[in-house]
Structure 1
Amino acid sequence: MANTIRRWLRRPVDYAWTVHYFETNTALGSTRVLIGLSCLLFSGLYVVAGLAPPTAPTGAALTIVLVNAVGTAGVGLAWIRGPWPSRRMSTAFVVYADVGLSVVLLSLSDPLAVLPCTILFGVASSYVATFHTPRVFAVHHSLSVVVCVGLFVRAIGSESVLGEARTSLAVTYGLLIVMVLFLAPISIYRLQFLQRGDVTAAYVDPLTGLRNRRGLTVAAGELLGTRNGLVAVVIDIDRFKSINDRFGHHHGDLVIRRTADTIDEMFPSPSITARTGGEEFAVVTALPMDEVLDRARRLRGACAARSDHDSSLSIGVAREERVVTSRDVDVLLICADRAMYSAKADGGDAVVGYSTLT
């Protein structure tokens, strides 16, 4: 059981692919507006709860609630205006929503009246389940558990004329919250995650686990407009056909997987790595050109050191300061491909930058 949970928590989610999927199905714009409207409704609820009895607090607590109301309204307007946020901004939104809701609920008076409001965490659960990793989902739910338990303890411990009836009501609320906020969303998320894994398989190379060419094109969209430009790297295993002929396709597959693992180690996320052909790989990254060239040379050396049958890499690198469309990414990859073939024409086992070509 523990191993299953650990494997689940480590599973990645391709945020760029998810956004692209909803965009191609014309659902992204309407979803963005609905999220914005939900934020505005949250803002309105904060104002009502902060000013109306029995939940209205006083002093600093009231200020906290109203400040969160104003901030949440601003976030809602930003969602409606667009565009859809990057993965980093989306994660920041989840953190803001969870922390903001937690602070507001704990600032309000009468914890028994506030306790049912914890089901509002379920609204954020839907967003997290759709766009973020199991680890983010687990953190989100852990925070909601802490808030619910805190309010429950305060509710049954507070003095009231209702006496035992108040405790019974708090327990009833608690059981309803467990069912609505935790059991149902977790079950749905698990099924949804398995289904999404099957759908995203069309964007992943099954042999290496890297993106395929289609997945590379989709993911590269997340890096468009990067201030310092983009760099593309194209990598080809030298004399790969002879490796297959001499040692068999099983060993050839082993060389491809080993090369893919080394590329992924040298260019971790947010760099985008892909297997684009039989023995050809590509990387798109926002790292500086000098650092990319240094990593490419270390990649060549690492693969040579790990090789047991004299396989080597030809690597081409190209940089463009202004990349704003997917067409620009395609052109950048073509330039890197030309640099790679220049390295191969000189005997392979080399790194060539496109700017050095004549």
Structure 2
Amino acid sequence: MIPFSVLDLSPITEGGSVAQSLQNSRRLAVAAEENGYKRFWLAEHHGMTGIASAATSIVISHVASATKTIRVGSGGIMLPNHSPLVIAEQFGTLAALYPGRIDLGLGRAPGTDMRTAQALRRNMETSSNNFPNDVVELQALLGPISEDQKIVAVPGADSNVPIWLLGSSHFSAHLAGMLGLPFAFASHFAPDMLLSALEIYRERFTPSAQLDRPHVMVGVMGVAADTDDEANHLFTSMQQSFVALRRNARGRFPPPVQSMDGLWAPDEKIFVDHAMRYAVVGGPESIRKKIASFVDLTKADELIVSMPIFDMDKRLHSLELFAKAQRALMAA
């Protein structure tokens, strides 16, 4: 069975604080390491009152300092928001602090609304269009220093931090294949192009110094509990959050409710159900079956799970149940 990893957004819950959210990320990473997860990734989002991981490299260090073996990284850094040199320096520093444990996942979306993106980027005309060139520039800054190199990242140069490309469409699938990089698909919220993107990536893959064969990680929303009913109850927090996102009414992560009836319109329910079509929600037996089916469908090399659960103790329990499901599948 393939390895499992965790994707965390450091959710700020209703009634909670940023400090509490960052401590929860640290607790979750420690528990993930204890339960045998391979990676713990954090996502860059800006201007969102329910997400505390905007300064992603700092949160990565906060998490990595509390763990010893699990790989810690970004899922991802939104590269058009930054210069490649700044990211090379940040991740070169992380690699020096936590040798052999840092991953650099890159995306090209803003991770926010367009007004905030303007404040981040200053120049909106070239940022996204430059993404392929910026990836290549960043690779060079993190690689060995060449004789004629004019700009050197210190720290960063020759750190060879592994780069991943993240995507929810065909664009990054093409680019990851062309550059010979591992590819992670955001099927936890964007299911439509999952299978076609994986097919493109595998067909177009060209071996590189980093990778000699295609390597795919797929994302799922995951909520595990002792029973299907409890898991479905906990999942209403994510459903409410997605409805708020559709209404452009972002807020802090809400507690679960007994029923979504009356909280969403029919078209909103269709939207959320479609976006969450691959979500793995249920008791132990249900999640085992759903994981096995999803891995069989995608032929993924790794699975990364985002666990949107309001109560931290229940989130930790979900983490343990997914780890048990993975071990059960390995033994089957």
**TM-score, normalisation: structure 2:** 0.26
The structure with the largest helix share of the pair is 1
- Greater length-normalized contact order (CA 8 Å, ≥ 6 residues apart): 2
TM-score by length of 1: 0.25
Whichever structure has more strand as a proportion of its residues is 2
